[in-house]
Amino acid sequence: MPKIKFYHRDEVPMEMHKVKIVQKLTLLPARERLAKMREAGFNTFRLHNGDIFMDMLTDSGVNAMSDEMQSAMLRADDAYAGSETFYRMQKKLEEIMGMQYVLPAHQGRACEHIIAQHFVKPGNTVIMNYHVTTSKAHVTRLGGKVEELVKDEGLVTKSTLPFKGNIDMNKVRACVEQEGADNIAYLRLEAGTNLIGGQPISYENMKEATEYAKSKGILTVLDASLLQDNLYFNKTREESLKDKSIREITRMIADLFDVIYFSARKFGFGRGGAIMVREESLYHELEDYITMFEGFLTYGGMSVKEMEALTIGFEETMDLDIISQGPIYIDHCVRALDSCGVPMVTPGGGLGAHINAREFVDHIPSEEYPAGSLVAALYLCGGIRGMERGTLSEERNPDGSERIASVEMVRLAFPRRVFTLSQTEYVIDRVKWLYDHCHMIGGLRFVHEPKSLRFFTGTLKAVSDWPEKLIEAYIADFGEDQ
C-alpha cells in the first residue's frame, strides 16, 4: 500500500477508501449499560446491537462492502439450480486459487461440519496449528481428537516474532509417529490463527508442513477464513515474498493444499462459505452433504446476492491497499496500548487487537473467567463490545472440571473498512482507563451453562457487586451520560 507521508507529524493509519453509507450509533448512559449487561447475563454475545457503541465482537459478516460489491448484487441471477451467479463465483475462485471444484455452504462452520463428517472417524486425530472453536467442536463431536501443534512461541503473548501461527514440525513428526499416519484424518492449517491473536502463518511453514503430510499420505486442509490478513503479513513480513503480488502469494499458498475452505463472512467481505477441492472424485464424495445439509449445489444456503458480491470481494482481496486497512489499524491500536503498559498480544496480528486478560486482571482466577470479566467491564466502561477468547470459550473436561485455556484474551475485532481513527482512539482511551482501574474488576460464574459452545449463549453473574462499583468510578470520571 502506498505510504502517505505527513508534513507536520508522524504517519497515521490511512484509509484507501471513502465512506458512502453510514449507520448511526448511540452511546447509552453508563447505568443503562449496566442494566443491559445484567439482562444479557454478562455475555457480550447476548447484547442487542442497538445498545452498543463500538461493536468489536467479531469481523464475521460485519465487514463493510464496497460500492462495487453492492452494485453487483443487483445483477444476481435468482435460480434454484444453475444460477449464473454461482458460475461467476466459481470462476473467480478458480482463477484465484487454481481449484476447479467449489462446494458452496452457508458459512464456515458448515464447511467444517462437512469436512469433519466425511473424514473423521472415532479415535482419529486431526492435527492443527491451532483450533478455532467450531473446527474443534466438529471433530470432537464425532469422537475424534485435535492436536494443536503451534510452535511454543505462538502462545507467548508478548513477542516480536512475525509468524506466531507457525506449526512446530518436530511436534508434527512426533505426533504422526505416535498416532500412526493412518489414524490422522487430516492436517488443518489455519491462516491468521483466530484464537491466538490473529497471528499469521508463514508460507515457508505451510510448505514444509504440507510437503511432510503428503509424504505420509495425510490429507491437507487450509482454513482460509482469515487468509486476507495472513496474505498482508506474508507480503510484508516474509522476505522471500516481498516482490510477489498478493495474487501470486495466494496461488502459491493454495497450490500446497488438497482442500481449502473458508467462512465468507470473513474472506470476501460478505456472508457465506465454500469448500474447494482439487480432485473431481473428492468433489463427488462431498456433494451429497451439500444437497443434504446446505442447499442445491449452485447456492449451498447462500443468497445469490451475497454470492455476486463475494465474487467482487474475492477480487478486492487481491488488492494490497484494501487488505492493509485491518492490520494497520490493529497495529496502531496495539502499539498505542502497549506503549502505556497495557498487556497486549504483540506483535499486532490480523482480525483484531488482543488484550492479555491473564495479566490485565491477574487477580481473577481462571475458573472465574478473567477474559469474560474484562470483556463485560469494557462494555460497562465505554459501550465497547469485545469477545472473550479464553477459558469461557473452552468446553469442560469429561470429568466436569474447567479446561483452562492456554491463552486468556479479550479480542477487540476491527471489522474491515468500518471504524474511523477517532473511534479507534476512543477505544484506546477507554481501555487505558480500565487498566488504571483493573483492580476493581471481579470474576463471573455461570447461571446457565450450555453443554457445547457455551460462550455463545450461556448466562453468568458477577461474583460480587464489582460491576456497580466500577460503574460509579466510571461516572465519577466521565459523567452519567457517557
Ligand X SMILES: Cc1ncc(COP(=O)(O)O)c(C=O)c1O
Using CB under 6 A, list all residues that contact ligand X. 60, 107-109, 132, 134, 190, 194, 223, 225-226, 263, 265, 273
Cβ proximity to ligand X: between 112 and 147 the closer is 112
> Would you say 60 or 205 has its CB closer to ligand X?
60
Residue 471, class by beta-carbon neighbours within 10 Å (0-12 exposed, 13-18 middle, 19+ buried)?
buried
Which of 108, 443 has the CB closer to ligand X? 108
Burial 30-44 (b: 16+ CB within 10 A, else e): bbebbebbeebbbbb
Q: Which CB sits closer to ligand X, 93 or 428?
A: 93
Q: How far is the CB of 330 from ligand X (least distance, A)?
A: 15
User: Quick one: CA dihedral 26, 28, 30, 35, positive or negative?
Assistant: negative
Nearer to ligand X, 364 or 375 (CB): 375
Task: Report the candidate in 130, 323, 138, 307 with the shortest Cα–Cα distance to residue 228.
Answer: 323
Query: Residue 120 or 380: which CB sits closer to ligand X?
Result: 120
Contact call for residues 157 and 407 (beta carbons, < 8 A): yes
Q: How many residues does the chain have?
A: 482
Closer residue to ligand X (CB): 263 or 325: 263
Tell me the C-alpha distance between 331 and 64, whole Å: 19
Residue 413, beta-bridge partner list = 352
CB of residue 274 to ligand X, shortest distance in Å: 11
d(CA 371, CA 425): 22
Least spacing, CB of residue 258 vs ligand X, in Å: 17
CB of 148 or CB of 223, closer to ligand X: 223
Instruction: Give the span between the Cα atoms of 167 and 126, in whole angstroms.
Output: 13
CB 115 within 8 A of CB 108: no
d(CA 146, CA 184): 10
CB of 21 to ligand X, least distance (A): 23
Q: How far is the CB of 60 from ligand X (least distance, A)?
A: 5
Task: Output the CA torsion sign for 135, 137, 141, 143.
Answer: positive
Q: DSSP assignment of 185-238, as one string?
A: EEEEEETTBGGGTSB---HHHHHHHHHHHHHTT--EEEE-TTHHHHHHHHHHH-
- Name the residue nearer to ligand X (CB basis): 265 or 430: 265
Instruction: Choose among 58, 50, 63: nearest CA to 306.
Output: 63
As measured in angstroms, the least distance from the Cβ of 39 to ligand X is 25
Instruction: For ligand X, give the closer residue by CB, 53 or 262.
Output: 262
Task: For ligand X, give the closer residue by CB, 58 or 346.
Answer: 58
| Ramachandran class of 197: left when φ > 0, alpha when ψ lies in -120 to 50, beta otherwise | left
Residue nearest to ligand X (CB): 108
358: alpha, beta or left? (left if phi > 0; alpha if psi -120 to 50): alpha
How many other CB atoms sit within 10 Å of the CB of residue 288? Answer: 12
Min separation Cβ 106 and ligand X, Å: 8
Shortest separation between residue 305's beta carbon and ligand X, angstroms: 17
Closest separation in Å from C-beta 260 to ligand X? 12
The candidate with the shortest Cα–Cα distance to 355, out of 413, 424, 402, is: 413
Whether the Cβ atoms of residue 370 and residue 394 lie closer than 8 Å to each other:
no
Minimum distance of ligand X from residue 408's CB (angstroms)? 18
Give 60 or 441: the residue with its C-beta nearer to ligand X: 60
Q: How far is the CB of 368 from ligand X (least distance, A)?
A: 25
Question: Minimum distance from CB of 109 to ligand X (Å)?
Answer: 3
**Cell for 40?**
444479557
Name the one residue in this structure whose C-alpha cell is 455476486.
Answer: 308
